[in-house]
Chains A and B, each alone.
Chain A
């Protein structure tokens, strides 16, 4: 079965782009196709002008695409430190790894306090911070976040989106998959709406926030 058809999407350097869509629209499939976890039946993915479709997932991480997966998938029985170290698996130089730690702790000071704690004993919010931090450890140029706000309290959602906005100012491009459309469109510069495997709509974040159809489907009526 084809989950995606005729999807065309781009993310510019240092830009936050959000991908909206209901359950089953193909958002996660699209991210997995980009990061090489799934092989696309056709079409091409280019990154910095280089064709990356068909490459192995580890090569794609090495080229600079970090992916914080759906459902966090932290290594529950490993400590926060071990999780972050695994995030830096593709980084062989010690200074790169310590720079990664510094960056993650600047974004999520809470993780530093929990460094020796098992990831499985963290709260949901902390696990999400760890999942994002772990993806940042590979020092990606493009970070893909799959529903980072899922199951978090409003305060934590705000924190996570604050960090996403900071990433942009640090020059990292972000492709953000969200169901929490309002917050996502507030930090993003552009957005796409994915419906049944197709891009149904593509516009600036501002216009999407004002679009009646989007408001009705994804912004909770209003």
Chain B
């Protein structure tokens, strides 16, 4: 009785946060964290549901962000509205998802990881080197601000907070429905045993490509929302460390588990963008010349090692992942049953 109540209490409480907490820095942090929660939900479709290890997911974040930067800024004088760009950018990201997916269909595990890693390096490099379109290392700035019925968002983080919230709600709804759909069952089967999945009559080509496309489309949403909030994109925002960060969020929270991924992505964002800067401020207040943000990768490392040691299935594991890592596969009652059957045959 209490559990479902608690579950739905979030739906009511989270939108109230900006009304209670008037500190713009806090709301700003929450809106930024929202972008990473969207990214983590998207990567979870590829890695968590379909079991395709993607080490270059930041490339799709870059593609979504640059799509907004090129189509909604003075750069080319094109000003597609923010709300339209959400759809356009996720479509563009999905197309690139298929372009990456198609040549990797026959690859698995480590080999797939290496190719996706390469893709993750190529995309920001391309944006860096296409100077005449992207301004190279300077990036594209003064992106259009979103407007809501004629009101520009301005520099107030509160409207961005609500946009992120709505996008996350949409992403959760999509991810849940995909997981429970026919294609979702095909992804799980491929994750468990690709050959057996083919035996079941699953078209593994279609299933894998749709995982890449749908997973990438979430980062299109994240890219548009994040770029419009920052009003700037530059190639250094999409380095390999971003891909690793998003993957770490999945590992921490629990791969394949939607609730887990949300918790993991929020937790790492909180550490990264709130806890460490605050700790640094406090240290500076005491006159200590410490910058804790320099230690963040060390801290991720410690967290991930601790997760692997103490809770390898993540904070909120998916049912199957728990089964994989915890349940004994050999059951003593089983051997007994088998023996009974065997002796039954000889008597």
| Interface positions of A (Cβ within 8 A of B) | 35, 37, 56-58, 60-62, 67-69, 73-78, 82, 85-87, 89-90, 118, 120-125, 134-135, 138, 153-156, 158
Contact = CB atoms under 8 A, between A and B. Distances in A.
Contact of B342 (A61, A87, A135, A153): A153
Contacts of A122: 334
Given A78-B188, A86-B185, A37 B193 contact: no
B331 interface: yes
B105 interface: no
A68 B200 CA distance: 9
B199 A69 contact: yes
Contact of A78 (B186, B320, B327, B341): B320
B196 A121 contact: no
A125 B335 CA distance: 11
Contact of B345 (A56, A82, A153): A153
Contacts of A123: 334, 337-338, 341
B184 to A, nearest CB: 11
Q: Contact size class for B? A: 20 to 34
Interface in B187-209: 188-189, 192-193, 195-203
Contacts of A153: 338, 341-342, 345
B4 interface: no
Interface in B238-283: none
A61 B338 contact: no
Which applies to chain B's interface (DSSP): helix, strand, loop or mixed?
helix
A78 B201 contact: no
Contacts of A86: 185, 189, 197, 200, 202
A86 B324 CA distance: 19
Interface in B49-103: none
Contacts of B189: 75, 86, 89
Contacts of B199: 35, 37, 57, 61, 67-69, 73, 135
A125 B182 CA distance: 29
Nearest to B338: A123
Contact of B201 (A68, A120, A138, A154): A138
B303 interface: no
Contact of B203 (A35, A58, A120, A154): A58
B13 interface: no
Given A73-B196, A155-B345, 8 more contacts: A37-B195, A57-B199, A61-B200, A75-B196, A77-B324, A89-B202, A123-B341, A153-B341
B185 A156 contact: no
- Identify which of B195, B201, B202, B329 gathers the most chain A CB atoms within 10 Å of its CB: B201
Contacts of A73: 193, 195-196, 199
A67 B196 CA distance: 10
A101 to B, nearest CB: 15
Nearest to A67: B199
A87 B185 CA distance: 11
